[in-house]
Amino acid sequence: MYRYDEFDAEIVRERIEEFRAQVERRLKGEITEDQFKPLRLMNGLYLQLHAYMLRVAIPYGTLSSRQLARLARIARDFDKGYGHFTTRQNIQYNWVRLVDVVPILEALAEVEMHAIQTSGNCIRNVTADHFAAAAADEVDDPRVWSEIIRQWSTFHPEFSFLPRKFKIAVTAAETDRAAVQVHDIGLHLKKRDGKLAFTVYVGGGQGRTPFVAPAIRDDLAPEDLLSYLEAILRVYNRAGRRDNLYKSRIKILVSALGAEEFARQVEEEWRLSDRARIDLPADEEQRIRDYFAPPCFRTLKDADAGFEAARARDAAFARWVSTNVHSHRTPGYASVTISLKPVGGIPGDATAAQMEAVAALGKRYSFDEIRVSHEQNLILPHVEKADLHDLWQALKENGLATPNAGLISDIIACPGLDYCDLANARSIPIAQGISNRFADLEQQAQIGELKIKISGCINACGHHHVGHIGILGVDKHGEEFYQILLGGRGDERAKLGKITGKGLPAEAIPDAIARIVARYIALRTDESERFIDAYERLGPKPFEEALYAEIKELAA
């Protein structure tokens, strides 16, 4: 796994010292909160409704056991005993006291972590497929490229004050699990005529003006990646709007110019650029690649008799396997989703004890590796099938074995009005309400894959635009209402959901979702037709009718 070099470590230390002095001045009242704001944001420290929140970067969602154990300790010593994993593969601590921030940053630095570039108009933490280096449908390890981008973009002198924040996501598998098409830049590495090439998506995003990104290139040679990214960023840095916050993202520039004209400007900029100076020499790429060398897998037969027997014997285990265990490209191994969505729980929250348990299990069963998924779950990427039953039991003891990965209660939700000062409405209780409504896991399994995503306001941190069912909190004359969207998806066939009719109050949401689900069950061809497939076959009409059925009756 990649380790910081001396250079990184030194800069992080300097930044902590600088921030220590700034925090002291704030604590003594020598500077106001307004003066302190830009300084704290440079260090990932936000001020929310009730407390400071610290956002810690987890590059491409990869953690070692030691790092996760440290995140646990911080949760225990400095927060209320838990942390919140986010859709950007970061962790947020929602109850941080100002006096504790520097000790937290020091504790993070000891395990090569920090909170730099988790805020501000710079290139943010790069996200990647959480099944990297395990998925069978992958052509390369996307983290190699994510790390190259991370090194290039950290403290980039030209791109630290962009018109707006900038998010890059990378996948190298056929199935896009990183939602690359709704990022400022999405990179999809594929095999093309026997050679690796990036398809480059630019100008996707959610927020108040959502876009699925157009592809401006489908044949970018990997060795040209950095110079090409630099050309895109330069065009954006110079031409992106700075007069209007809501129009400052690159998606607005791309849509104003048109994808073709934007691509032409990038190509022109790229043609003029001094690529040799920017692109990574092959030996440097190899040096980074070596950090991601695959673990020493044992040579195994793919089928494991003990595992099969346990599955046949133990129905609860079998159910968990069918949802939370994923095929691995190495015979005899599997990847495991550890659900952070217990029935009625808060999506993405993990207690210190749970994090410690996962850290220990990751060390024991998964070559010391843990991933954070953008769907707010944890992943053990490389587990021997023979160990799955033991692992499952250990997870169960820690409340981490909910068999719901990809199902209706595997909900993404933003912090919403429980924490966020921009929120119009709460999102967490809505997620809990739906999760409780569908508490019967048997029923969930019968419904099959269904992705619900909830945001507490138009900023769309909860990805509601790309939920199979999206839920958006709005404020109507001081009351919380929820708009339902249908048919969005964030995968390789990304689409924005369609906004349905008028919003519903919070207490009506679980039943509304249940009506949509019942209509889907009635209309699907068979169990293999997922909700999103049925929606695409039938269009929105039957589902919208179901959604508003009850309401019409009431009005009549």
Where does this chain bind another protein (CB under 8 A)?
A: 121, 157-162, 234, 237-238, 242, 272-274, 277
Q: How far is the CB of 456 from ligand SF4 (least distance, A)?
A: 3
Quick one: which segment of 202-210, 232-240, 486-494, 534-542 binds ligand HEM (CB under 6 A)? 202-210
| Degrees to nearest 5, angle at CA 519 with 517 and 522 | 110
- Distance separating alpha carbons of residues 35 and 330, to the nearest angstrom: 53
Residues 6 or more apart whose CB falls under 8 angstroms from that of 202 comprise 184, 185, 186, 213, 214, 216, 232, 250, 254, 259, 262, 266
User: By rule CB under 6 A, what string of x and - marks binding of each residue 437-466 to ligand SF4?
Assistant: ------------------xxx-xxxx----
Q: How far is the CB of 457 from ligand SF4 (least distance, A)?
A: 3
Residue 416 is a binding residue for ligand HEM (CB under 6 A): no
Q: How far is the CB of 425 from another protein (least distance, A)?
A: 30
Residue 51 is a binding residue for ligand HEM (CB under 6 A): no
User: By rule CB under 6 A, what string of x and - marks binding of each residue 522-551 to ligand SF4?
Assistant: ------------------------------
Cβ closer to ligand HEM: 70 or 88?
88
Residue 257 is a binding residue for ligand SF4 (CB under 6 A): no
- Distance separating alpha carbons of residues 44 and 115, to the nearest angstrom: 5
- Distance separating alpha carbons of residues 554 and 292, to the nearest angstrom: 59
Coil, helix or strand at residue 195: strand
Report strand pairing: 185-192 vs 168-171.
parallel
Coil, helix or strand at residue 48: coil
Residue 377 is a binding residue for ligand HEM (CB under 6 A): no
Residues contacting ligand SF4: total by CB under 6 A: 13
| Degrees to nearest 5, angle at CA 386 with 371 and 378 | 15
- Distance separating alpha carbons of residues 262 and 280, to the nearest angstrom: 25
Report strand pairing: 91-96 vs 82-85.
antiparallel
| Location of structure tokens 């520039």 | 253
Query: Residue from 420, 447, 496, 512 that binds ligand SF4 (CB under 6 A)?
Result: 420
- Distance separating alpha carbons of residues 78 and 73, to the nearest angstrom: 8
Query: Residue from 48, 181, 404, 483 that binds ligand HEM (CB under 6 A)?
Result: 48
Q: How far is the CB of 85 from ligand SF4 (least distance, A)?
A: 14
Q: How far is the CB of 246 from another protein (least distance, A)?
A: 16
Structure tokens at 352: 């210190």
- Distance separating alpha carbons of residues 79 and 73, to the nearest angstrom: 9
Cβ closer to another protein: 162 or 457?
162
Query: Residue from 15, 88, 382, 389 that binds ligand HEM (CB under 6 A)?
Result: 88
Beta-strand ranges (E) seen in 104-160 are 127-128
Query: Residue from 414, 447, 485, 494 that binds ligand HEM (CB under 6 A)?
Result: 414
Residue 389 is a binding residue for ligand HEM (CB under 6 A): no
Q: Out of another protein, ligand HEM, ligand SF4, none, which partner does residue 68 contact, by CB within 5 to 8 A per kind?
A: none
Q: How far is the CB of 346 from ligand HEM (least distance, A)?
A: 12
Q: Is the dihedral of CA 368, 369, 372, 375 positive or negative?
A: negative
Task: Check if the beta carbon of residue 200 is closer than 8 Å to that of residue 185.
Answer: yes
Q: How far is the CB of 20 from another protein (least distance, A)?
A: 22
- Distance separating alpha carbons of residues 382 and 328, to the nearest angstrom: 8
Q: Out of ligand SF4, ligand HEM, another protein, none, which partner does residue 160 contact, by CB within 5 to 8 A per kind?
A: another protein
Structure tokens at 399: 């409340």
Coil, helix or strand at residue 138: strand
List contacts with ligand HEM (CB under 6 A).
Answer: 46, 48, 53, 86-88, 92, 164, 167, 205-208, 249, 414-415, 420, 422, 459-461, 463
Q: Can you give the binding site for ligand SF4, defined by CB under 6 A?
A: 414-416, 420, 422-423, 455-457, 459-462
